[in-house]
Amino acid sequence: MMSNVELKVEGMSCNHCVVSIEGALREIGSKGKVNLANDTVKVEYDEKKVNLEQIKEAIEDQGYDVL
């Protein structure tokens, strides 16, 4: 069962941010899509493999704040 969440993320400004965040989410086995226009990241993930806390940590580890 796949879950979807949309997170508000502070500090994203350019394509480097998109690549960093989407890559970090891929590494933990989820699929992220950054939207720079409204500062959000949509994440699709399998709750059996990864939880929301890990998703937030992966983004924060790249240097961004999850609101």
Torsion sign, CA atoms 41, 62, 27, 21:
positive
Stretch that binds Cu ion, among 1-9, 13-21, 31-39, 48-56 (CB under 5 A): 13-21
* Closer to Cu ion by Cβ: residue 13 or 49: 13
CA distance 34 to 9: 9
Q: Which is nearer to Cu ion, 4 or 38 (CB)?
A: 38
Q: Does the footprint of Cu ion cover residue 16 (CB under 5 A)? A: yes
**Under the criterion CB under 5 A, does residue 17 sit at the interface with Cu ion?**
yes
DSSP string, 19-48: HHHHHHHHHTT-EEEEETTTTEEEEEEETT
Residue ranges in contact with Cu ion by CB under 5 A: 13-14, 16-17
